[in-house]
Structure 1
């Protein structure tokens, strides 16, 4: 068998493994409502199907990178894919919500093992002159995996059922295991030693656990609660302990020489912004499409797939070219486009045309592709070759942490904006009822109660409700209230009931429109906030690489520092 064919099979094995792991960070989100119907439970409990995976992924990824460098990347990769495949099969068969959450945590651990190993496996499979091209392709596929999750999840859930979101991983995992065993050679970092850095492992595991868990739970407790502040404080203490252990340890898991490489630091910070941006836009847009525009989960998922389409196009261009011309300009331009696309999403209305949504999401995808592939390429191109594994782990951990940070911030902003806007719109509608000169006094409390329930989302989400259903309820309660009136008052109401119900219907319609407009405005302000959060990424991206003629000098400097 020719070397070219062996490399193709090897790369296929690698791609199958990390595509599954990255896909499962987002593919599950669109199926959560269906899982709620199947298992029951509260929204907070169901969210741990997603949070459990992300928490385990963020906590273990750096440790997995180090262990792979020490004990063999092929061996660790096989363990990760096998664990991922088995837990996927069992997750599809899970008898209860608790069991499913536990399996998702184990899946997250498997994903943390798989993802950071893929780049060093790739670089040892292909000759050095092909690294730029291959890593560019790797970055493109990783962007597609992250962006296409909602669409694939929607299609699978609609056409089959939510269990198949897990079952589809089984044949892919088996194929990856077979190809890896047959065609990939073992590799490791010979300078990493064989002793496990216990202090570093405990430090980074504790730091990532407490920080990530705090960011997940901030939606329940709030930023100022003692619980969140305590968790963040513990995370910082573990981070300080980790830093100390890396400085004093004989064989630290994190070579401090990496942190002296400006381009590597810039790439890692950029990936935090990219992780937050992708999660924020995916989350906000999916909620807007389903709640404000009334789309089904399937249609919303297909619409969101336009991010993946845009990412495929720009990744195919930026990945290979960035290796030749440098990554920093591509990445900075990509972050700028992402921020602009997020800002443009703030202009959407509940009745916006589908084309308006698609154009904005394609732009978001173009920016994602221009950023992710070049930055990932730069992160491993500007470090010593034997440190590619741990470098990949850090950048992937940065992206995972960015996703969690982004959700914590943006959900808080959306909730605050929604509460404030709906409260203002509800008060305005109630005041209009109180000042109305047509309605008889006994009807006003009934109508005010209906408007209050609309504002609290009891008949719909964020002010978008079934107007006919609410009006029917108002009519029924008005008739019950009329039965308690005196005979003269009942006679007066019966004579003018048509006019009374017509006026009540108009006021209710105005209130519903005002509440929906307020909810749309809340989303608009949150999209603006999301775009502003991306702006620091432009500076980080500019620092993520140097011009090609200086890259060799940077690598030599890093190798000298390591020595």
Structure 2
């Protein structure tokens, strides 16, 4: 009885600390897109800089998250969780003090390392600290609490950015993290697997991190240097070779971070392909939607943040209900319909041209956001259930980690490829848009060079008032044209994710798991 009581008391402290730690990561993720316009303006960041600010964190998370889970099992879940929180708040504080975009990118790498050690620890601590009979309820509570906290991320980010306090999105992590560390140290005992002798796959982690970094660099350099320059094709080629090397390392390793034999399961492969396409479309769609609203449509950053509330409310209200229905009827139908609806929502959003601002929101952006949000809310819990149910119980932790990593890699892919594509599309639209404006060749070159700044493109000095007005109009229409095409490609990725479910997923071959499904990749 004393042991049960001890586990119960410790379980409550574990719940509180894991919710606080997860809240830091979730608020950062949801608020960052909203504060990007302020960040770009204050740090004088270019378009590629913005994508690196997003990717630096995601790269570290994608390549090290599986290593983070293994370290927790071997060295102690509480210890690695606390180290992750400490590194994360250290990186967050440094991000807040960043004097320019280059320093912010470096400090985001530190945040990503902390996140890779911290994020796997949340659910593993809950699973190992809380009695089996209460574990499902605890995971459900964790999921609901972190989702509610996440709802405030965009609104908080927008409010702080409008007040000129965007740096506090990073600073807010420091007190939350310090409180979590204090209670972990004082109230939670160490937990580790004494018989876990799994070796760390550092060659695999290094090859995938460098491969993704080089691919990202190559794609983001393409708009500036072109396809025929060594800075374009060189890093892309090297990145592809390193990713192929990663596959060879994993195939030969006795303790791989990503066991390739799991992909021989057609449902596991199909769900991860679905995750990749869906989260690539989701990442690109939400990023460019936010940039369009603030930089072109005239929304404040707070108003932009509030526009995502319907999406989040759908996730809170529908996700658990969809998970329950998927348990009863199987996830296949939901994984076909959900991504298809998400893609339809992105397609609706792609047709929006210049609006009158927030007063037009209800008839312009809201319908697409509602359809998009409803589709995602039908997808996340059934997707988790399908991933976990496609493998034996022995591999559920590994399967969850791989699915999380795939969602991060999808984000890196989206930011790199779509960032490059957006600059190229914007440049092409600008060339057409300024063809009728009386500018000399040098002025045209300066105007088009601003395409690298996307929606933050500034009219060059030295133009007449009439020219300034015409160039500003060309910037607006050119960005909206590029935005529409990016959103259509994002919608296509949603439809492709739906097709993956149609082809690969069979509900009768998926095992049912007890307890609530988590809300998709964390």
2:493 counterpart of 1:533: yes
Question: 1:475-531 CA distances to partner (integer Å, 9 max, x unpaired)?
Answer: 9x9xxxxxxxxxxxxxxxxxxxxxxxxxxxxxx77x976875554344323322221
Residue aligning to 1:406: 414
Q: Give unmatched runs, 5+ long, in structure 1.
A: 431-444, 478-507, 554-563
| 1:371 aligns with one of 364, 379, 382 | 379
> In the aligned structure 2, how far is the partner of 1:113 from the partner of 1:24?
16
TM-score normalised to the size of structure 1?
0.75
Native 8 Å contact 2:93 2:174 kept in 1: yes
* Residues 179/160 of structure 1: CA separation in 2 closer, same or farther (3 Å cut): farther
**Any idea what SS the aligned residue of 1:535 has?**
helix
Q: In 2, distance between residues paired with 1:169 and 1:545?
A: 39
Q: Counterpart in 2 of 1:63?
A: 67
CA deviation string 1:178-225 (max 9, x = no partner): 444466665556775243334434433433443344445445445554
| Contact 1:137/1:319 (8 A) holds in 2 | no
Query: Cα deviation per residue 1:77-121 (whole Å; 9 max; x = unaligned)?
Result: 221112112332343345665544332211111112222333333
Separation (CA, whole Å) in 2 of partners of 1:134 and 1:324 = 21
Q: Determine the C-alpha separation between the residues in 1 that align with 2:100 and 2:439.
A: 42
Q: In structure 1, how many angstroms separate the alpha carbons of the residues matched to 2:278 and 2:99?
A: 36
**Pairing 1:354–2:361 present:** yes
Specify which of 392, 399, 408 is matched with residue 391 of structure 1: 399
Residue correspondences, number: 503
| Larger Rg belongs to | 1
| 2: CA distance, partners of 1:212 / 1:131 | 39
Supply the distance in 1 between the matched residues of 2:282 and 2:78 (Cα, whole angstroms): 30
Match of 1:551, SS state, is coil
Q: Is the 8 A contact 1:463 1:512 kept in 2?
A: no
After alignment, is 268-277 or 36-45 more displaced?
Answer: 36-45
Deviation at 1:44, TM superposition (A): 4.6
1:69-108 matches, cutoff 5 A: 69-94=73-98, 98-108=102-112
TM-score norm. by structure 2 comes to: 0.80
Q: 2:380 and 2:224 mapped to 1: Cα distance?
A: 32
CA RMSD of aligned residues (A): 4.1
The range that moved more, 286-295 or 43-52, is: 43-52
In the alignment, the residues of structure 2 paired with residue 220 and residue 464 of structure 1 have an alpha-carbon distance, to the nearest angstrom, of 15
Residue by residue, what CA displacement relative to the aligned partner does 1:217-236 show, whole Å, maximum 9, x if unpaired?
44544555433433233333
Is 1:152 aligned to 2:144, yes or no? no
Asked if 1:161 corresponds to 2:169, the answer is: no
| Deviation for aligned residue 1:46 | 6.1
**Cα distance between partner residues in 2 of 1:54 and 1:253:** 17
Contact 1:59/1:209, CA 8 A, preserved across alignment? no
Residues 280 and 410, structure 2, Cα contact 8 Å, conserved in 1: yes
